[in-house]
Structure 1
């Protein structure tokens, strides 16, 4: 579905104290931004912010950073974060292709990738956020033994992503093709997940750990 342009969204994002418009300026300095030395968790593609706002409430001793490209989506994430009154979240409006410019070596402790674009056509697969090209970029700023938590409803993407992770030096610590009927207890649903689970959709989930 194509989003209607919200011309007021960018000015509102720029005025928000918990939105970082020029994130590359904070490379290596994120703990100064949060004014603490707590671990940093990163969500790539945060959508309307349900996941990251609930994570921040559940884990106040973690600094959370959420990235999305569309101002029209991120403005809703900003609203949810503000409603949750969580000081441990920063939002970044940017193309994830440039995420390597934002963080220094060992600066991030965990990555969440929830229901990213599956890019099913062969010529587009390098755009997948779980593709080896992206995984090698993440390795430049992930701390040793860090994890990537990945959820999708696309079986082709899920199967091929398992190979990407293994090829890129990650071990698969947990894999399920039906998350909500598994024994995994720490799941927080996204908006998309809540909607389509109610319609019978199965969520696939894995945890990949950097060796």
Structure 2
């Protein structure tokens, strides 16, 4: 479903500079300076309306969360969630990040979350999948040595593709779950898509992978 255009979104993003970092490329190597406390950084690629980053930041006050979202019509909802809950350990950026290495220094990130990423099912679009090897090279560069990639999806083919991609890249698969909600994992925070798909009876797949 196509999102309704919000002509006021650009201005709203700029007005909320305390939440949305306006110059992310200048923050390379110093992201912790925009938070109240220096602590491990978790990055969510594709924040959507912000339910996940809101919930994770509230459950994990010992982490600083950064969410990347390129759609201005969506990120405004994430801004509202962070404002309403007065969350101090979550920030956003309105970017279409082509290369994370332009914004983050080596070993600056401790976790990367890939939640319900676009599966790009056509073979000619393989390079756009966020678990394609060129993206894994970026993640390896910015992640701390003990850092993790945590992926959730409802798309079985993307999940299988990603497991192969991780393995071929030499990554360690720390956890592979074919029905996340059957585990009743209390640490899991659902995204908007996750709730929608789960309510339809679709299994949610999760993988936790690392480079060591």
Query: Normalized against structure 2, the TM-score is what?
Result: 0.96
Provide the rounded CA distance (Å) in 1 between the counterparts of 2:88 and 2:166: 32
Moved more, 88-97 or 38-47: 88-97
Q: Which runs of 5+ in 2 are unaligned?
A: none
1:169 aligns with 2:170: yes
Q: Which stretch shifts more, 16-25 or 66-75?
A: 16-25
Paired position in structure 1 for 2:201: 200
- Determine the C-alpha separation between the residues in 1 that align with 2:182 and 2:94: 34
Matches within 5 A, 1:38-49: 38-49=39-50
CA distance in 2, matches of 1:99, 1:28: 12
> 1:14 aligns to what?
14
Deviations 1:24-77 (A, max 9, x none): 110001111214320000000011000000111111121000001100000001
Return the offset for 1:166: 1.5
- State the match for 1:179 in structure 2: 180
Alignment deviations for residues 67-103 of structure 1 (CA, whole Å, 9 cap, x no partner):
0110000000101111121111110111132322110
**Alignment partner, residue 122 of structure 2:** 121
Match of 1:5 in 2: 5
Task: Give the drift of 1:199.
Answer: 1.4
Secondary structure (helix, strand or coil) at the match of 1:96 reads coil
Query: Is 2:67 aligned against 1:66?
Result: yes
Runs of 4+ in 1 over 6 A off after TM superposition: none
Q: Structure 1 CA distance, aligned partners of 2:81 and 2:37?
A: 23
Structure 1 residues 200, 141: closer, same or farther in 2, change over 3 A? same
> Is the Cα contact below 8 Å between 2:45 and 2:112 reproduced in 1?
yes
Distance 1:45 1:112 in 2: 9
**Partner SS, residue 98 of structure 2:** helix
What is the distance in 2 between the residues matched to 1:177 and 1:95?
Answer: 30
Deviation at 1:177, TM superposition (A): 1.2
Deviations 1:168-196 (CA, angstroms, capped at 9, x unpaired) = 23200100111111364421100111122
* Number of residues of Structure 1 aligned to a counterpart in Structure 2: 211
- RMSD, matched Cα: 1.2
TM-score by length of 1: 0.96
SS state of the match for residue 206, structure 2? strand
Structure 1 Cα separation of the partners of residues 140 and 76 of structure 2: 29
Q: Which residue of 2 is the match for residue 31 of structure 1? A: 32
Supply the distance in 2 between the matched residues of 1:173 and 1:183 (Cα, whole angstroms). 18
Structure 1 stretches of 5 or more lacking a match?
Answer: none
Aligned match of 1:81: 82
Does 2:92 align with 1:91? Answer: yes
